[in-house]
Amino acid sequence: MTTKPLHELAKTIRSKNAGTDKITFDIIFKEKEKYELVRNSGVLSKQSVSELYKIPEEKITDFVHYDPANAIKFTIKRDRPSGDPGDGDIFGSQQYPPLLTVEVPTA
């Protein structure tokens, strides 16, 4: 089986604040075919995100395949509010890197 890392298939992989207590992630594809390949592969799910980020599934508040935008979106609860002492990423914009190397079966 051949695979490709997610960053080679997606146009955009990002994270950002969703209020003070959550971080949302967007994986957006330019081509519908690449989006459908990743969506249908099942490599991104509540369970896989839970394992990737080492968090309980209950911390994932939303997980959506948004077909009109060729996007997969999910939101997780923060351990502490944005800007709280000890928060290492106030804007939530540095949380996406583990997604970059997720391997997606291509054949």
pLDDT at residue 107, as a whole number = 80
Query: Sign of the CA dihedral 51, 53, 55, 59?
Result: negative
Q: What was the pLDDT predicted at 76? A: 98
* Mean pLDDT confidence for 11-33: 97
Per residue in 46-85, is it b (16+ CB within 10 Å) or e — as a string?
Answer: eeebbeebeeeeebbeebeeeeeebbbbbbbebeeebeee
| Residue 1 pLDDT exceeds 90 | no
pLDDT at 86 over 90: no
Given the candidates 2.60.40, 3.40.1350, 3.40.50, 3.30.70, the CATH classification of the domain at 3-98 is: 3.30.70
Q: Return the H-helix or E-strand segment holding 70.
A: none
If you average pLDDT over every residue of the chain, what do you get? 96
pLDDT at position 31 is: 97
Residue 62 has pLDDT above 90, yes or no: yes
